[in-house]
Structure 1
Amino acid sequence: MKLRFHVLVAGLTAIVFGAQAQSQPSPNYKANDRFEQMGPLLPTPNTFRTASGSPGRDFFQNRADYDIKVELDDANQKITGSELVTYFNNSPDELKYIWLQLDQNYFEKGSIGGITKTGGVNENGMSPAGLSTLTSTAGRGAGPDPNKDFGYKITAVKDKAGKPLKYTINQTMMRIDLPTPLKPGQNVAFGVDWSYLITEYYGRSGYEYFPKDGNYNYFIAHWFPRLAAYDDVNGWQHKQFLGQGEFTLIFGNYKVAITVPNDHVVVASGECQNYKQVLTPTQAQRMQKAANSKTPVLIVTQAEAEAAEKAKPTGKKTWIYKADNVRDFAFASSRKFIWDAMQTDVYGDGRKIWSMSVYPKEGNPLWGQYSTRAVEHTLKSYGNRTFKYPYPVAISCHGVPGGGMEYPMISFNGGRPEPDGTYSEATKAGMIGVIIHEVGHNFFPMIVNSDERQWAWMDEGLNTFCQYLAEKEWDYNFPTRRGEPNQIVDYMKSDKSVLSPIMTSSDNVISLGPNAYAKPATALNILRETVMGRELFDYAFKEYANRWRFKNPTPADFFRTLEDASGVDLDWFWKGWFYGVEPVDQDLVEVDWFTLNTQNPEVEKALARTEAQNRAKTISKMRDAATQAQTVVAQDSTMKDFYNRYDPYAVTDADKKKYEEYLSSLSQEERQTLASKNNFYTLTVKNKGGLPMPVIVRMQFEDGTDSVARFPAEIWRFNDAQIQKVIATGKRVVQWTLDPFQEIADIDTDNNAFPRVSKPTRFQLFKQGQGGRGGARVPNPMQQQQSAQPPARQGGANNRNE
């Protein structure tokens, strides 16, 4: 067929758009490297982790159970605690010592996290990052007071019998030497007593102070010495806590008694075991009502929280919480908290899950209206995409205005309206988005327990992707910030000197937000929408989540599972998107148009006539038409002969007979081609960015219709620098466009069209006399509308939940 096809098109008439010379492929192409298997980039499969991406027959996880008693000193912003830990060695190895994480030591003077921060001094002063003591963490907050003595004060480390154990503290890690080695299958119990000063909220934990009423909201996390992970990949994972890389933890059961002032409300990881003792009768009745409500019920009203702000505690109260099979434990405490809750059958299987929120009055009206409903929506959306949420409760706490942080069953979230109760659309969307994101972290990494200290993207990227989908399920017009390919373009077109591969260790990532959140989320969206398709991707993604729920996967387990469950070779994709920093930039260099010589005299002679007429439309011929009657031939008929009357474009009987003979020589397939595909276009596409991606091209036809052709990324497998592709159509194409639906994060869309399409640049006339930099703060739309209306009754904005 190949030979017959060339014979069939041997008579093509070429009409070329652009230059005839073809651009030559780069001699330095890397197609073979890009499309070969990852090989040594991934660890060798073994009996712990298989080549399919599943846990192997010898997979193990150690665990630690905690019995903790802790007291919050509201007068001095101090935590004092003691813990009894039972550590289970499920590994095949004998352990001579165990390692614990002391993350609060990050705030000590001279900590490695503080002294390795860099910055400088200029005419505006010293940048916070230049201080040798810690002042901020990845832009997460103001940081602690450098004049206070922060960090753990370890007062005792002892065995179950109360005998001291030898221990060594190395910055944010503590090694406990065991009297006798802990053999496989054995467990050991030991106790630790400690205290520390709580820092101002820095994005992960701490307090927020409210000077108007003199109260504190406490968000307490990484507050107790926690067992480090020991696994088949790293042995002990005891990388120091430098602030950016989060936490690597193991599962266990927790019983925690939290003593606070008796006017505080406490929420925590797990279920409260003594509501009867800590709730008032009215609050207990409201809890019963919330247990059967599909909308949030106030357990503590705004009026009650405001009254508590003004009163003084009369004693202490202990809240007891229990959490099973979790990797961490956090809590929040304040007398300022408004508290609402509902218990609903999220998945329609009869099992009810508590969705709760606590927030100060400063969070209303946004929090009372949206927070708990967003919690429930998140559980439903993520659960449908992965597995049903296994825990009994999920809690959203309103922390400082921006950002958020996650822990099992509880999260600290930002998003605060203006003091007058109004808010911008961005504030509302940001609050709902951060609640979805932080509650969503219950799935990644609180259950699918990836190593955050090493791989930030494995929880942040996967979670941001699920957040993007959940936001769209919340509101079709939700202003998503991350996930769409065109939203990552500015980052991907950055200079390579400031770009890190996604596969960079968490503490070494430059631009954590774009790198660990946005880029992997975008990559997964591209896999789902363009490379794999929704059905294959959704099945494989759910398979990964279920294989590794309550286990600790590595990147290789994720990569291998998605390929194993979908049957799609994605090694080229992981290499480009996760191991590289090259961008996508496809350039539609030129399009050559060939029309098929049909041999049909009715068609070909008509085309020839039109072409001849077009060639005759020169400026001289058009001007000479006015005097054509004055020519010699026109005035003297004897000057005419056969050729003055001959029509070379007329169809003769001989032409028709020859065409019939031609048709009889063609196969059925060739006749179909002749009838339907008489336009052949050769597209020349360059891979200017380096990252190979599918080629998607839209054809706009002269009749106003259009069509899209899709070619998988393997089209680059023989030459990743430049390709040519022939497309046959039955209609003439007047415009070609690469990536018409913005699917592949192409960083330069100006070279995606052929013929090129000019885009206007908007400019504004310069008006003299305008103000300088900054200018007055623009009221949000709610404020603008309220200013045009009569004043509302007092207290309306902040009392809507009473």
Structure 2
Amino acid sequence: MKYKHLLSLSSALFLTVVCFAQSENTNKSYFKQLYDELPTPNSFRTASGYPGHQYYQQKADYVMDIVLDDEKQTITGSETVTYTNNSPDVLPYLWVQLDQNMRAKDSDTRKIQSMSIGDSLSFEALDKYINPFDGGFKLEKVTDSRGNKLDYTINKTMMRIDLPQPLKPGATTSFKIDWWYNINDRMKIGGRSGYEYFEEEDNYLYTIAQFFPRMAVYNDAEGWQNKQFLGRGEFTLPFGDYQVNITVPSDHVVAATGELQNSSEVMTSAQRKRFAEARNNTTAPVLIITQKEAEENEKEKAKGTKTWKFKASNVRDFGFASSRKFIWDAMAVKFGNRTVMAMSYYPKEGNPLWEQYSTRAVAHTLRSYSEHTFDYPYPVAISVNAKSIGMEYPMICFNYGRPEEDGTYKERIKYGVISVIIHEVGHNFFPMIVNSDERQWTWMDEGLNTFCQYMAEQEWDINYPSRRGPAYKIVDYMKGDKSNISPIMTNSESIFQFGNNAYGKPATALNILRETIMGRELFDFAFKQYAQTWMFKHPTPADFFRLMEDASAVDLDWFWRGWFFTTDHVDIAIDNVQWLQVDSRNPSKEMAFQREQANKDEEAFIGTIRNKELKPKNVVVTDTKANDFYNSYDPFEPTKIDEKAYENYMNSLDDVQKSTLEQPLNLYDVTFSTPGGIPMPIIVEFEFTDGSKVKEYIPAEVWRMGDKTIKKLFYFEKEVVGLNLDPNLETADINRNNNYWPARIEPSRFKLYKEKESKEKENPMQRMKRAEEMD
């Protein structure tokens, strides 16, 4: 251990408050304010992150009649859209999204896909390439409310409707569209919506979304958000009221956005009675349709039809699911005097997992997210089981996860089901209510939602195996090849490593803000303020950044810049530790210390150790005449002069100074560096000789002058034996090997094998069942 004595007590006391900075200035740009990166505040959006006094948003109301053809797998629809121009601008045309057109044979989505055959190609892949699915909207007419044809232009996934008269501020216009399209087989060609076919019983399960021409958003930040839909960048939609009539086979059960208006026409009396019971049950789901009833229902196909009627207010979209296979359960979640129905629809293939967990997970999500944001405002929240998908719409989501055919399942499937339900139900908050621009900024809904998902998972089970959220889980991504990493602030369609970029990294960043930078109290207040302020509105990234700072009085520009605008990583190192103690002036004590230091290196030297064997042959041993005064002189032996000087020095001190001098004073001069790019707080844990520990927190502003290396002085009465940087894995430091003093290397493992191990064929539930049979 390297240490030395300070020359005087006064210098020791002075050094405890000084921070030394050195090295080149390279990081100053992190602490530059974000003025250049963020739009100028104005009357629509303020510098505090709140809506301005002239903030506006458009409104789009829909009345729709939809027919699902279970024989042809088609959707036919007719809609009347009433559009209200709340902007201060005159609109000569309207833009409508035609998202189904991304499945058209000539779509850009298909054209920009890379494909190479290589040495082999499956029959399915070749057929999919040669005979592409005939997708896309087939528009039959576009008229005004009186039936007069409107001029329109289709540009791939967007349609411009040219108005006969420009729509003035405050004015309303209505138009009608009739259309149909072929529903895609999700299991063969993928998609957020579509159908799943059950060949054994010749049945279908439909999860239907993006099924109607939808109004694009017009606002102060983007004008018309009419960026083409290529498949990844999701949706930006205005709020409105919906009346939707869905005609399906009479033995189908329909789940949808909104509240069912005609339960007496489409539900049996027994089902209505059970539903009423579920409205009063907040502890466990009540089965509205049992598995036995669903199995009977799916055996034969009815020839007639039924129309399910739904209404939804102040929603940005609409989705539904339909099948004769559905089991249906529900339970109540109370928010004051309001009752929200948490519900699940699933085929028998989802049991026993879904009956046990789905609706419970829905209810838990509503409670958890509401605690961190705002009370869930809608009347229902629905989870629908659909194989190999996780996708969200207002009040309804489609979620994957099924057990083995024997009803057993792996633990990861169980947690996968709970997690995807939490995540997709959570999307009701972000972006269905806090309505960010998904076409531009995926992280504003996926990242914020993944962060809330992590909190909900940990509130489900403190040992929950969350995939994303903790800082240490993003390390491998952040230390990866920068040519394959995008800044978070990248358009949705241009992101490398979509999951890490849009979900994992922003969720981690928010976790670090909450746990380390801001603290839970400040963060939770600011985050809730953001959520409640932008409920049913259209926030931008700048609004989020600004409001989080405004509500907390924490300058976060350096954090947003490092984590959101760059691909840099975090790496802080302990370069050197020097132990300093006060010179007591006591000659017997200090000279003994000097002797110890003088002899330490010399005695450790290999030459000295070996030369001791030659000592009897030294000249000064064999010839005493070769000795003089200095052969016996000990410079480290105190004399009476030294003792008198010490006595005089002590007499010059007052009682407080004497007491201070006699205390054990251990000062540690520590050099830190930042080989990584992003500045972060220095969190260092000191361990003492008695085994106790203490943690010191130095704010990230210690790097504000752009130094790559800084020094800090720490004082303790106890003697330090070790330092550990970021001991609780708070900062996503990518290299922990330089986080210790004395230095140590993080352990890892590699496997030895005789031959390649086969994949596990049994899940633990099956193995335990087999073991019980052996008893």
If the length of structure 2 is used for normalisation, what is the TM-score?
0.92
Deviates more, 1:698-707 or 1:367-376: 698-707
- Counterpart CA distance in 1 for 2:305 and 2:518 is 57
- Counterpart CA distance in 1 for 2:656 and 2:761 is 68
Q: 1:317 aligns with which of 306, 327, 331?
A: 306
Q: Which residue of 2 aligns with 1:120?
A: 116
The Cα offsets for residues 644-681 of structure 1, whole Å up to 9 and x where unpaired, read as: 99887667776565445435656899767645573332
Q: 2:76 aligns with which of 67, 76, 80?
A: 80
Shift of 1:790: 3.0
- Counterpart CA distance in 1 for 2:426 and 2:655 is 58
Residues 614/493 of structure 1: CA separation in 2 closer, same or farther (3 Å cut)? closer
1:577 and 2:563 are equivalent in the alignment: yes
- Counterpart CA distance in 2 for 1:443 and 1:48 is 23
Shift of 1:458: 0.3
The Cα offsets for residues 358-394 of structure 1, whole Å up to 9 and x where unpaired, read as: 1111111110001101111101111010110001110
SS of alignment partner, residue 23 of structure 2: coil
User: Do the aligned partners of 2:21 and 2:711 also contact (CA within 8 Å) in 1?
Assistant: no
Residues 671/41 of structure 1: CA separation in 2 closer, same or farther (3 Å cut)? farther
User: Do the aligned partners of 1:397 and 1:411 also contact (CA within 8 Å) in 2?
Assistant: yes
Residues 760/481 of structure 1: CA separation in 2 closer, same or farther (3 Å cut)? closer
Which residues of 2 match residues 61-100 of structure 1 at below 5 A?
61-100=57-96
Residues 96/649 of structure 1: CA separation in 2 closer, same or farther (3 Å cut)? same
- Counterpart CA distance in 2 for 1:644 and 1:687 is 51
Q: Percent identity?
A: 54
Shift of 1:592: 2.6
Q: Which residue of 1 aligns with 2:26?
A: 30
Which residues of 2 match residues 110-259 of structure 1 at below 5 A?
110-125=106-121, 146-201=131-186, 202-259=190-247
Q: 1:337 aligns with which of 323, 326, 329?
A: 326
User: Do the aligned partners of 1:692 and 1:720 also contact (CA within 8 Å) in 2?
Assistant: no
Q: Which residue of 2 aligns with 1:141?
A: none
Q: 1:428 aligns with which of 414, 434, 453?
A: 414
SS of alignment partner, residue 122 of structure 1: coil
The residue type paired with residue 722 of structure 1 is T
Shift of 1:609: 5.2
Residues 765/652 of structure 1: CA separation in 2 closer, same or farther (3 Å cut)? same
1:592 and 2:575 are equivalent in the alignment: no
Shift of 1:762: 3.0
Q: Which residue of 2 aligns with 1:16?
A: none
Q: 1:784 aligns with which of 758, 767, 771?
A: 767
Q: Which residue of 1 aligns with 2:674?
A: 687
Q: Which residue of 1 aligns with 2:286?
A: 297
Q: Which residue of 1 aligns with 2:452?
A: 466
Residues 74/11 of structure 1: CA separation in 2 closer, same or farther (3 Å cut)? closer
Q: 1:495 aligns with which of 481, 491, 495?
A: 481
User: Do the aligned partners of 1:68 and 1:82 also contact (CA within 8 Å) in 2?
Assistant: yes
Q: Which residue of 2 aligns with 1:731?
A: 718
The Cα offsets for residues 408-449 of structure 1, whole Å up to 9 and x where unpaired, read as: 000001111111111111111111011000000000000000
Residues 470/420 of structure 1: CA separation in 2 closer, same or farther (3 Å cut)? same
Residues 654/88 of structure 1: CA separation in 2 closer, same or farther (3 Å cut)? same
User: Do the aligned partners of 1:503 and 1:578 also contact (CA within 8 Å) in 2?
Assistant: yes
Q: Which residue of 1 aligns with 2:36?
A: 40
User: Do the aligned partners of 1:701 and 1:731 also contact (CA within 8 Å) in 2?
Assistant: yes
User: Do the aligned partners of 1:462 and 1:520 also contact (CA within 8 Å) in 2?
Assistant: yes
SS of alignment partner, residue 575 of structure 1: helix
Deviates more, 1:693-702 or 1:98-107: 693-702
Q: Which residue of 2 aligns with 1:800?
A: none
User: Do the aligned partners of 1:114 and 1:134 also contact (CA within 8 Å) in 2?
Assistant: no
Shift of 1:786: 1.1
How many residue pairs match? The answer is 759
User: Do the aligned partners of 1:690 and 1:720 also contact (CA within 8 Å) in 2?
Assistant: no
- Counterpart CA distance in 2 for 1:77 and 1:429 is 33
1:109 and 2:98 are equivalent in the alignment: no
User: Do the aligned partners of 2:9 and 2:661 also contact (CA within 8 Å) in 1?
Assistant: no
Q: Which residue of 2 aligns with 1:562?
A: 548
- Counterpart CA distance in 2 for 1:452 and 1:631 is 86
- Counterpart CA distance in 2 for 1:11 and 1:301 is 77
Q: 1:515 aligns with which of 477, 501, 515?
A: 501
User: Do the aligned partners of 2:8 and 2:583 also contact (CA within 8 Å) in 1?
Assistant: no
- Counterpart CA distance in 2 for 1:652 and 1:455 is 78
Q: Which residue of 2 aligns with 1:775?
A: 758
The Cα offsets for residues 9-30 of structure 1, whole Å up to 9 and x where unpaired, read as: 6699xxxxxxxxx99724xx43
- Counterpart CA distance in 1 for 2:445 and 2:31 is 27
SS of alignment partner, residue 697 of structure 2: strand
User: Do the aligned partners of 2:21 and 2:710 also contact (CA within 8 Å) in 1?
Assistant: no
The residue type paired with residue 182 of structure 2 is L
- Counterpart CA distance in 1 for 2:118 and 2:364 is 48
Q: 2:440 aligns with which of 438, 454, 474?
A: 454
SS of alignment partner, residue 57 of structure 1: coil
- Counterpart CA distance in 1 for 2:773 and 2:141 is 64
SS of alignment partner, residue 548 of structure 2: helix
Q: 1:486 aligns with which of 452, 459, 472?
A: 472
User: Which sections of structure 2, spanning at least 5 residues, go unmatched?
Assistant: 1-5, 14-19
User: Do the aligned partners of 1:104 and 1:152 also contact (CA within 8 Å) in 2?
Assistant: yes
User: Do the aligned partners of 2:725 and 2:739 also contact (CA within 8 Å) in 1?
Assistant: yes
The Cα offsets for residues 34-76 of structure 1, whole Å up to 9 and x where unpaired, read as: 1111111100000000000000000000001111110110111
User: Which sections of structure 1, spanning at least 5 residues, go unmatched?
Assistant: 13-21, 136-144, 793-802
The residue type paired with residue 764 of structure 2 is P
Shift of 1:108: 0.1
The residue type paired with residue 695 of structure 1 is I
Residues 766/72 of structure 1: CA separation in 2 closer, same or farther (3 Å cut)? closer
Shift of 1:632: 11
- Counterpart CA distance in 2 for 1:468 and 1:356 is 22
Which residues of 2 match residues 257-272 of structure 1 at below 5 A?
257-272=245-260
- Counterpart CA distance in 1 for 2:280 and 2:685 is 53
- Counterpart CA distance in 2 for 1:508 and 1:629 is 80
The residue type paired with residue 23 of structure 2 is P
Q: Which residue of 1 aligns with 2:384?
A: 397
Shift of 1:546: 1.0
Q: Which residue of 2 aligns with 1:368?
A: 355
User: Do the aligned partners of 1:107 and 1:134 also contact (CA within 8 Å) in 2?
Assistant: no
- Counterpart CA distance in 2 for 1:260 and 1:686 is 66
Shift of 1:610: 4.4
User: Do the aligned partners of 1:690 and 1:721 also contact (CA within 8 Å) in 2?
Assistant: no
User: Do the aligned partners of 2:22 and 2:710 also contact (CA within 8 Å) in 1?
Assistant: no
User: Do the aligned partners of 2:257 and 2:395 also contact (CA within 8 Å) in 1?
Assistant: yes
SS of alignment partner, residue 447 of structure 1: coil
